[in-house]
């Protein structure tokens, strides 16, 4: 039998703890994602390969906004799979079916991790003739973030009315800010805010782009599409409220190119959607970030004491 140091288990425990602690520091923020899943219905949800890809995309996010959801049963199947996937528990919150055509009624759906965030309010915008699919606004709270309370305003614009609908989000933001007495609002979704739908000249007519109150996190030159034939910043994340803007983790606003990240063929990626998800991360709370070095220090102290006792 080989010799085994009595300190070996302690050292392994020490390095494991440091690894977990450092990992916790990296994961202490809150990732918010928005994805147009393109006619997400029972047929698409019954396709194992597509559902597995969607599962991998959504499981990266603490809050995922899905758009173009056509069938609630498809969401039920997705949430059920998520709850078996990575140890987190997920819930969903859906709008009613929205649209002006019986054949194209869609839902906004938020899927969120119960362990990291909770819902404190919801509001269906109802001003008539403002949107084809009126925003379904949700207020969230999380002890994991520096901002703690924030509001998410989703929108999937009607392409032919993109300029007018994006501009009207200004009014939605004003309404929900007053409703919940909270100016920290994030507006996100497939705005069709690029290429022929929203040109550089037409952006001047849109208050979300012309007002200094709002900051666009996904730039005009970003490509949020899967196809090689398009290069358009259709999907956007726009932030209102200086505290919320300061709470954004630097360089975290990005497109998640699942086609490349998961090494999928472009044809398979396009079967899921012709859009790429957009995402942003809120910084972790100061309490969490300060606690990690303290835990490491206590761990070091315990190992040192055990070492001295073993001498």
Q: Which residues contact 221 (CB under 8 A, 6 or more apart)?
A: 233
User: Can you tell me the mean pLDDT for 285-310?
Assistant: 48
**What domain count does the chain have?**
2
- Strands 30-40 and 118-124 come out as unpaired
Q: Which residue has the higher pLDDT, 100 or 28?
A: 100
Residue 48 domain boundaries:
29-284
- Strands 185-190 and 149-154 come out as parallel
- Cα separation, 251 vs 112, in Å, equals 23
- Strands 149-154 and 136-141 come out as antiparallel
Pinpoint the alpha helices (H) of 99-241: 162-180, 207-210
Q: Verify that 234 and 306 share a domain, yes or no.
A: no
Residue 75 confidence (pLDDT) above 60:
yes
Q: Are 260 and 226 in contact (CB under 8 A)?
A: no
Can you name the residues that pair with 90 across neighbouring β-strands? Answer: 113
Work out the pLDDT band at 239, boundaries 50, 70, 90: very high
Q: Verify that 109 and 178 share a domain, yes or no.
A: yes
Q: Verify that 280 and 297 share a domain, yes or no.
A: no
Q: Which of these, 155, 167, 228, lies nearest to 191 by C-alpha position?
A: 155
* CATH number of the domain enclosing 102: 3.60.10.10
Q: Verify that 20 and 44 share a domain, yes or no.
A: no
- Provide the percentage of residues in the chain whose pLDDT is more than 90: 79
Q: Verify that 228 and 107 share a domain, yes or no.
A: yes
Q: What is the pLDDT of residues 78-104, one digit of tens each?
A: 999 999 998 999 999 999 999 999 989
Q: Verify that 95 and 183 share a domain, yes or no.
A: yes
Q: Verify that 269 and 234 share a domain, yes or no.
A: yes
Q: What is the pLDDT of residues 130-188, one digit of tens each?
A: 999 999 999 999 999 989 999 999 999 999 999 999 999 999 999 999 999 999 999 99
Q: How far is CA 41 from CA 45, 54, 58, 78, 190, in A?
A: 6, 13, 16, 11, 18
Q: Report CA Rg, the chain.
A: 22
- Cα separation, 188 vs 278, in Å, equals 9
**Cα 262 vs. chain centroid, distance in angstroms?**
18
Q: Verify that 275 and 149 share a domain, yes or no.
A: yes
HEC letters along 251-294 = CCCEECCHHHHCCCCHHHHHHHCCECCEEEEECECHHHHHHHHH
- pTM > 0.75: yes
Q: Which residues contact 252 (CB under 8 A, 6 or more apart)?
A: 29, 31, 279, 280, 281
Q: Verify that 162 and 13 share a domain, yes or no.
A: no
Specify the pLDDT at position 286. Answer: 67
Specify the pLDDT at position 146. Answer: 86
Q: What is the pLDDT of residues 252-286, one digit of tens each?
A: 999 999 999 999 999 999 999 999 999 999 999 86
- Cα separation, 244 vs 27, in Å, equals 19
Specify the pLDDT at position 267. Answer: 95
Specify the pLDDT at position 64. Answer: 98
Q: Which of these, 112, 55, 6, 126, lies nearest to 272 by C-alpha position?
A: 55
Q: Verify that 186 and 138 share a domain, yes or no.
A: yes
Q: Verify that 53 and 155 share a domain, yes or no.
A: yes
Q: Are 30 and 142 in contact (CB under 8 A)?
A: yes
HEC letters along 17-37 = HHHHHHHHHHCCCEEEEEEEE
Mean pLDDT, the chain, integer: 88
Residue 238 confidence (pLDDT) above 80:
yes
User: Can you tell me the mean pLDDT for 95-119?
Assistant: 96
Q: Verify that 8 and 140 share a domain, yes or no.
A: no
């Amino acid at each position: 039998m080989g010799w085994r140091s009595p300190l070996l288990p302690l050292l392994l425990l020490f390095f494991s703890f440091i690894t977990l602690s450092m990992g916790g520091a990296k994961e202490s923020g809150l990732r918010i994602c928005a994805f147009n899943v393109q006619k997400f219905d029972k047929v698409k949800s019954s396709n194992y390969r597509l559902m597995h890809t969607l599962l991998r995309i959504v499981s990266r996010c603490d809050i995922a906004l899905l758009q173009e959801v056509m069938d609630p049963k498809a969401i039920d199947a997705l949430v059920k799979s998520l709850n078996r996937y990575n140890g987190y528990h997920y819930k969903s919150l859906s709008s009613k079916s929205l649209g002006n055509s019986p054949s194209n009624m869609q839902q906004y759906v938020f899927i969120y991790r119960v362990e990291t965030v909770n819902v404190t309010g919801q509001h269906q915008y109802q001003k008539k003739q403002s949107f084809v699919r009126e925003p379904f606004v949700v207020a969230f709270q999380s002890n994991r973030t520096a901002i703690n309370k924030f509001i998410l305003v989703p929108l999937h614009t009607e392409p032919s009315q993109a300029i007018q609908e994006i501009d009207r989000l200004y009014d939605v933001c004003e309404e929900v800010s007053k409703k919940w007495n909270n100016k920290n609002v994030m507006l996100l979704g497939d705005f069709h805010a690029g290429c022929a739908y929203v040109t550089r000249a037409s952006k001047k007519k849109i208050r979300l782009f012309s007002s200094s109150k709002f900051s666009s996190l996904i730039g005009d030159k970003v490509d949020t599409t899967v196809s090689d034939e398009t290069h358009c910043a259709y999907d956007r994340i726009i932030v209102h409220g200086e505290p919320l803007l300061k709470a954004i983790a630097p360089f975290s606003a990005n497109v998640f190119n699942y086609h490349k990240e998961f090494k999928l063929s472009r044809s398979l990626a396009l079967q899921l959607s012709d859009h790429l998800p957009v995402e942003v991360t809120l910084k972790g709370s100061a309490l969490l970030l300060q606690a990690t070095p303290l835990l490491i220090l206590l761990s070091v102290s315990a190992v040192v004491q055990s070492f001295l006792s073993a001498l």
